[in-house]
Structure formats: C-alpha cells, structure tokens
Structure 1
Amino acid sequence: MGPGGPAGQSRRGVLFDVDGTLVDSNYFHTLAWWHAFRMHQFDVPMAAIHRCVGMGGDRLVDTLLPAGRERDADSEILASHAAVFALNWPSLRPLEGAGELLAACHEQGLAVALASSARNQDLAAARRALDADQFIHAATSANDAKASKPAPDILVAALEAVGVLAADAVYVGDSVWDMQAAAALGMPAIGVTCGGTSAAELRDAGAAEVYDGPRQVLGNLQQGAIGRLLIRA
C-alpha cells in the first residue's frame, strides 16, 4: 500500500531535487563539466557552468557552447563529464539534515519522490551517499523524461510514480531551473541556497519559500507549503 490518507482522500507528496538540494555535489559537477569542455577545446568559465547546473546535460551543453559549433562532439562531451564526475562518487556527502528531512516527510504520511536531472548512475551514487532509501517511495532521473529541466517532464514522471497530482505536491530544489519546472505545473516550490544559487534568484524564479538547506526546511516543516499539505491530511 502506497503513502497517502484514507480511501477517497487524495495522496499528497513532496518531490526533491537531489544534486545541490540533498547532496553536496554541484561543485563537483561544475568541475567535471569544465574538464569535459577543456577536453574538447572549449574554454567555459566555471561561474557560467555553475549557473547552468541543474539543467539536463543536453541543455547545459547547448546553452554554454557556441550555436555554430560542430555538434557531433556533444555526445562525447556528455560522456566526458560523466566519466570525470564518476571519479567523485566516493566524495559525495549528504547536505546537513537531508536524511532527517526525508524521514520526517515519510513519517508524516507524505509520498516522497526524487526528481533529478541526473543520469541513472549518478543518481544511484547520490542515493548511496544519502543512505535514506527506506524513506523514498520513488525516484526519477534524466532517463525518465524526454525533455530535461527547466521542462517539467521529470517532475511529471515523479508525480506519476507516486500517484500524486501536482496540486497535492510541493517541490524542493536548489536551482532556478527547479523553480521554473515546478511553476510550469503550478506546483509550489521551496528553494534552498545550499547549491550555490542566491535566495533572490530563487525567489525571482518562483520559489514560494527559500531556506539555507535541508536542515532549515526540516525546522520549518509545519509552516509554509509542506505544512499546508499536512493540514489537509
């Protein structure tokens, strides 16, 4: 039996981005992309790369590289990023309070789903770092969506995986792309600045609330967007 209330009551849930939201990995991704671009003779500033982390890899490459480039190399750049990032899997660590936040949402009867733009292999590595699978009902990755963030496809896949409507869910993420994806579905979004994006940028992108990270979200669980889901229980 899945999460949710009594028969006839709509199921409620919280969707989570992973990189930069639950796991401290955004700067590993930034450096991996920098190396991948340099391997293919593209010199892209790390600050520009970091601002695009959270997009799907295909969109990130297309956004940062010249429009008139030879696109045959794009798949090789993606593969290079994957190879370099994989070297950092043993260094991945959960952000403070991440596991406790997932546990608290689970214990409150909410469906808990991961909605990440990461590849399956990278998501698996992040889940090992989190060590909280017992509190996660479903997880979707870039492999589950035709279009990557800021398109909402990955969020739609996560909602379907746990049987929750967008109107009965909240999304927690660290990038403007997360906020835009949630807004496309009319879903309230909570922003966290632990991925390196400022509170002002997250609010401008549509965040209803912004916190420092998972620990602060947990401390305010009964207030705001998640609290309103609980009140409806």
Structure 2
Amino acid sequence: MTKPVTGVLFDVDGTLIDSVYLHTTAWWQAFRQYGHDVPAARIHRAIGIGSDKILDHLLGEQHDTGGDDALRAAHASLYATSWTSLRRLPGAQRLLETCADRGLRNVLATSASKPELGALLRCLDADPVIDTVTSADDAGESKPAPDIVEVALRRSKLDAEEVVFVGDSVWDVQAAGALSIPCIGLTSGGLCAAELLDHGAAAVYADPQDLLDHLDEALTTAFRVALTSV
C-alpha cells in the first residue's frame, strides 16, 4: 500500500454495539417457532452473515425454503423487542470521535437491515462523526461477500488501498480480504483472537476501547500485514 490511511470501515453488530447475543437469541427463538432445533452456539458463530444467507448456512442449502420469509420476519420481530436493551460497546463512541479528530473518515458497512440500522445508530449516538452508512439493503449479497464493502467504498469515494476494516466476525475478515483490505478484529462479538487471526485478521483487540488505546499500533500493524501480503 502506498496511500496513507484516510478512512476506517466499521462493522456495527458486535463491533460497536453489543448485539450479537441478542441476535443469537432472536434467531434461536425464531427457529424453534418453525420447528427447527438449531443449537445456539451454531447460531452465534453465524451472526454476521446476512439474512439472505444465514438460513442456508444453518439449515443447509437443500432445506425447504418455503418458510424462509416467515423465519426472517420472526427473527426481525423478536430482535426488535430487544432494541431497548442495545448498548454501545466500551469506547465505541470515543473511537469514532478520535478517528474523526484525526481526519479519518468513519464508514459503517453492516449487514443489518435498514430498520435494525436505525436502532443501532440511535444507540451509537455518533451521527456527527460518521461519514457514510451502508446496510444490507444497499448490496446484492451480504457478508462474507464483499458487496457491502464495495458499496461503502464507492459511496465514501475511498479506495481499498487507503482504508482498514474493523469487525468482530470471520465473515468481516473474509469480506475485507476479498478486496485486499486489512481487517482489525475485535473479540467483543464472542469469537476468540486465534480464530480471527487464523482467518486473516491483521491484529485483534478486545473491544473498541482496547483498539482506541492501541490505535497507532493497530493501524501500523494492519498496513504492515497488508504490505507483506501483496
């Protein structure tokens, strides 16, 4: 990479907002409503995949898709009941503010639907320092496909060579990696550091506050890894 970093792409669920386990519970309940006994641990590990793919991932590509729309609707309804329980992860707001203070552009690239995104943004309460926002409705395919990341780059007028991605799931790492964007992983979504590193994360921190405390180190490490992988 020859360009200086000018932007940071952020996932939201599990990265800036503590919502992964709320999603897990909502999906678990929705599956049970429609006669599917899917272990919560499997659901948790799938969070970050968009609703257009998560049912195939958890029920198999050969499952009867006739009830998929009802399942997605059930999840959305159940998850909506927990919106008042959403909380920012430690340091999330300040991390965005610090990046903006440094002249970096904050871009949100999430697989959340627009209604969910509205609830997340209200919880995050950082609109003045967010440059660009994209959601699942803006892309053809959700993560781990890179579509949402591509839309985020296009709308923010940033190049892949001048950004880093911050996410909490292997799906974030894969989506960023498809565009050769270095990904900084956070374990705040419930995955361990080793798994994120094994899937290609350039560096891993505990949560937004930990990343903020080591921001210079994180950006330097991310770009050093990206350079050596070219």
Q: TM-score, normalised by structure 1?
A: 0.91
Q: TM-score, normalised by structure 2?
A: 0.93
- Equivalent of residue 33 in structure 1, options 27, 38, 59: 27
Give, in whole Å, the separation in 1 of the partners of 2:220 and 2:140.
28
Matches within 5 A, 1:136-175: 136-175=130-169
Matches within 5 A, 1:13-32: 13-32=7-26
Deviations 1:74-99 (A, max 9, x none): 11111110000000011100000000
Cα offset, 1:160, TM superposition: 1.2
The aligned residue for residue 82 of structure 2 is 88
**Corresponding position: 1:45 with 2:42:** no
Secondary structure at the counterpart of residue 68 of structure 1? coil
Are the aligned partners of 1:14 and 1:169 in contact in 2 as well (CA < 8 Å)? Answer: yes
Cα offset, 1:68, TM superposition: 3.3
Matches within 5 A, 1:177-216: 177-216=171-210
Relative to 1, partners in 2 of residues 1:208 and 1:39: Cα closer, same or farther, differing over 3 Å? same
Give, in whole Å, the separation in 2 of the partners of 1:205 and 1:227.
16
The aligned residue for residue 227 of structure 2 is none
CA RMSD of aligned residues (A): 1.5
Secondary structure at the counterpart of residue 21 of structure 1? coil
Q: Which amino acid aligns with 2:46?
A: C
Give, in whole Å, the separation in 2 of the partners of 1:199 and 1:164.
28
Cα offset, 1:30, TM superposition: 0.1
Cα offset, 1:67, TM superposition: 3.5
Cα offset, 1:10, TM superposition: 7.6
**Corresponding position: 1:103 with 2:97:** yes
Give, in whole Å, the separation in 1 of the partners of 2:4 and 2:41.
42
Relative to 1, partners in 2 of residues 1:37 and 1:94: Cα closer, same or farther, differing over 3 Å? same
Are the aligned partners of 2:96 and 2:130 in contact in 1 as well (CA < 8 Å)? Answer: yes
Deviations 1:115-163 (A, max 9, x none): 0000011111011111111110111010011011000100111111111
Give, in whole Å, the separation in 1 of the partners of 2:120 and 2:69.
23
**Corresponding position: 1:70 with 2:64:** yes
The aligned residue for residue 220 of structure 1 is 214
Q: Which amino acid aligns with 2:155?
A: A
Are the aligned partners of 2:202 and 2:222 in contact in 1 as well (CA < 8 Å)? Answer: no
Give, in whole Å, the separation in 2 of the partners of 1:134 and 1:101.
13
Cα offset, 1:14, TM superposition: 0.2
Cα offset, 1:111, TM superposition: 1.0
Give, in whole Å, the separation in 2 of the partners of 1:65 and 1:188.
31
Structure 2: stretches of 5+ with no match in the other structure: 224-230
Cα offset, 1:224, TM superposition: 3.0
Are the aligned partners of 2:14 and 2:189 in contact in 1 as well (CA < 8 Å)? Answer: yes
Q: Which amino acid aligns with 2:193?
A: A
Cα offset, 1:225, TM superposition: 2.2
> How many residue pairs end up in the alignment?
221
Structure 1: stretches of 5+ with no match in the other structure: 1-8
Paired-residue identity, %: 50
Q: Which amino acid aligns with 1:113?
A: V
Secondary structure at the counterpart of residue 99 of structure 2? helix
Are the aligned partners of 2:167 and 2:183 in contact in 1 as well (CA < 8 Å)? Answer: yes
